Structure 1
Amino acid sequence: MELPLPVFDVSTLGSGSASDSTESASVLADQLQHTGCVYLVRHGIPTETIHRAFEVSKRFFALPHQARMSVADLNSPHFRGFVPSRGELTKGPADADRREQFVIGPETAPQPLDPGAPWRQLIGPNQWPDALPELRPVMLDWLDELTALSHRLLSAIATALHGRPDFFDGLVAGNPNHRLRTSHYPAGTPGFDDNGLGAHRDHGLLALIAQDGVGGLQMEDGHDSWVDVKPLPGALVVNLGETLQVATGGRLPAPVHRVITPPTGAERYSFAFAFNPHIEALTKDTTDPQGAGTTEHYGRRVLARWLQSSPHLARRHFPNVDPGALLTGS
């Protein structure tokens, strides 16, 4: 099968001599420098873990609507829970996403309310439906596996670019704002809107994507056209986020991507894990020895983006927060 992206063997990281591991890290960084996105094979996550995650995800989306709505994201100032179809505006107000989701993050206690730092409300507990108790252990196990793999990849990138595996560790210390989303894309119908997930760049450091066999994920090729990221059995897809793009002075790009609803009538299921910085992380161009340029506050930026894409949550939980003021720091 002809593939649109490079394939990286994760098992080569940390295997053999230190020089071999460094060489492998350099291969990964070089692949990402050209595409911002690669397939990951032999990544070490058990096949059974992935199978269980997809199986329980399908069971969640098969629950009655009332059971899913019992954990609606509208209940959560932490942007977690069930998001109905058309409930998120990733691309903008004119193009609501034609997918439904269930979103979790690390299980943490909510932060004290601070009107001067509303982004801290993103830290908190998950919601779990009473009708499917097995969802919690399976999803949290999957979250832990993806988090560990993401740390491994970030360390490899740091080794390749800076010669130190811990170079970026400060960005994910404390309370990282990781997110794991399972998505269901309903089958297409004649005349359907194919905007499954609107075109966007991820906000964080990197994202890991697990697809079923249906397809629909696309990457922009830099020439105003789209490339299908075909499902590769057993593989994950990693794509980089804007925080890492900024931290590397643009050396590692955050690719624009989207999901189109398959026109074949087949339903699509997928997972996307966002490996994000801690909520107070300050990101700047680490390739600039003078430390000049813009310093971005992750919490401000991500809350502003989420308020824009989830206006129903903005009205309920953040009625006095102006996304524009968050982005300008005012």
Structure 2
Amino acid sequence: MPSFVPPTVSRWVSPEPTKEILEWAELEVIDLARARTPEGRADQVEKARDAMHNQGYFYVVNHGLDKAQVERIFDIAAVPFEQVSPEEKKVYEAKIKETGTFMGYKPLQFWHISNGVKDRIEHYNFNRNAVRPLLPEIQEFIRHNHIQVVHEIERLLALGLELPEETLVDIHNFEDKNNAYCKCYPRSQEEERQTENVWLKGHADHTTLTVLYSQPISALQIRDADEKWRWVKHLDNALVINCGDALEMLSGGYYKSAIHRVIQPPEDQRGRKRLGVFYFCYADDDIQLEPLSASPVLERVGIKRRTEEGKAPFMEAWRKARTQPGVEEEEMLKGIRVKHYN
């Protein structure tokens, strides 16, 4: 059979990292290559456990893709935004309110930010059955993220709870997991003033884990353990991993949902379009997000529940509830208080 020849796509050229002096978050770095060695595994388990417990965030290096492969992924990520007509985008527009999923194209101005100003973010969210000409590469990329990255992290986090290392892997099957590309556009000075430079309100993801491929334009901030907003620094060819609400519920509150937001980039990067590559990981739809109470760690420190015992939502219901566009700063979803930070 003939070998697959990747389609030619335009290069996505990112700017240089900011040279401005910013208050950067101090995030742990997890080395997956070291985690796969007998002598390094225990050390990486401890680092991953403590980072997720204290901040809900860490970097990952040696994730299995080299710099050229990641650059190719960013080239592919630009295709839905740079090489697809508005008419064709409309065909694939996600029916978010009706279906409770972001699968497909999300146009600009879907989320309300502040004072009547809506977002300037478009994204294309898909599983492995979309974007036909580039499908073989996208399929492999999604599989790599789920199997080689997320599953490896889940093993470290399960061991951090002193559970069998496949505990989280077993409830995160590959089916129906998805990947997303996101593009942020510059805004007018008046919109920046009305929103106090916030592009996307502070929030926690509804996932178990979110994987972000680090890119040079600084705009992501996390709400740190001391409740101060700090910038997430770009690390070349690294991943930024954050804990979502679903993992916080499964871990009985031991692993903390990471509150984060997107704001206007520093002055030396303003006016540039910002391209993001994400992998959003969910537990299987039929998993109830009850704490993993067999954990010896939870037995020692206690369980912090988001709902009454036995009343936690199932993953599918939680995912659909959280995909609604909601404008409230604080709301109740499936009996759980969800807060947005502006």
CA contact (8 A) 1:96 1:198 kept: no
Mapped to 1, the partners of 2:73 and 2:37 lie a distance apart of 28
SS in 1 for 2:189: coil
Is 1:268 equivalent to 2:274 in the alignment? yes
Return 149-158 or 42-51, whichever deviates more: 42-51
Is 1:229 equivalent to 2:232 in the alignment? yes
CA contact (8 A) 2:25 2:222 kept: no
User: Residues 156 and 93 from structure 1, CA distance in 2 versus in 1: closer, same or farther, beyond 3 angstroms?
Assistant: farther
State the partner residue of 1:168: 168
Letter in 2 for 1:295: A
User: Residues 305 and 29 from structure 1, CA distance in 2 versus in 1: closer, same or farther, beyond 3 angstroms?
Assistant: same
Cα distance, 1:93 vs. partner? 10
CA contact (8 A) 1:98 1:197 kept: no
State the partner residue of 1:113: none
Mapped to 1, the partners of 2:216 and 2:325 lie a distance apart of 32
Letter in 2 for 1:70: V
CA contact (8 A) 2:28 2:47 kept: no
Alignment coverage as a number of residue pairs? 289
> Which sections of structure 2, spanning at least 5 residues, go unmatched?
1-20, 337-342
Is 1:69 equivalent to 2:72 in the alignment? no
User: Residues 57-206 of structure 1 correspond to what in structure 2 (within 5 A)?
Assistant: 57-63=77-83, 64-74=85-95, 77=99, 78-88=101-111, 96-107=118-129, 126=130, 128=131, 133-148=132-147, 149-173=149-173, 175=175, 177-193=176-192, 194-206=197-209
CA contact (8 A) 1:98 1:195 kept: no
State the partner residue of 2:26: 4
SS in 1 for 2:125: strand
CA contact (8 A) 1:95 1:198 kept: no
Find 1:48's aligned residue among 68, 92, 102: 68
Cα distance, 1:154 vs. partner? 0.2
Root-mean-square deviation (CA, aligned residues, Å) is 3.0
State the partner residue of 1:250: 253
Is 1:22 equivalent to 2:60 in the alignment? no
SS in 2 for 1:265: coil
Mapped to 2, the partners of 1:260 and 1:308 lie a distance apart of 19
Cα offsets for 1:117-166 (capped at 9, x unmatched): xxxxxxxxx4x3xxxx5343333222111112101100111122124111
SS in 1 for 2:275: strand
Cα distance, 1:309 vs. partner? 4.6
SS in 2 for 1:43: coil
Cα distance, 1:11 vs. partner? 1.1
Mapped to 1, the partners of 2:214 and 2:119 lie a distance apart of 18
The runs of 4+ residues in structure 1 deviating greater than 4 Å are 91-95, 288-292
State the partner residue of 1:327: 334
Letter in 1 for 2:169: D
Mapped to 2, the partners of 1:266 and 1:92 lie a distance apart of 22
CA contact (8 A) 2:178 2:280 kept: yes
SS in 2 for 1:162: coil
State the partner residue of 2:220: 217
Letter in 1 for 2:281: F
Cα distance, 1:68 vs. partner? 2.3
State the partner residue of 2:285: 279
Cα distance, 1:192 vs. partner? 3.1
Q: TM-score, normalization: structure 1?
A: 0.77
Cα distance, 1:281 vs. partner? 0.8
Mapped to 2, the partners of 1:48 and 1:25 lie a distance apart of 29
Q: TM-score, normalization: structure 2?
A: 0.75
SS in 2 for 1:152: helix
Mapped to 1, the partners of 2:45 and 2:263 lie a distance apart of 32
Mapped to 1, the partners of 2:261 and 2:158 lie a distance apart of 27
> Which sections of structure 1, spanning at least 5 residues, go unmatched?
108-125, 311-322
**Identity of paired residues, percent?**
18
SS in 1 for 2:92: coil
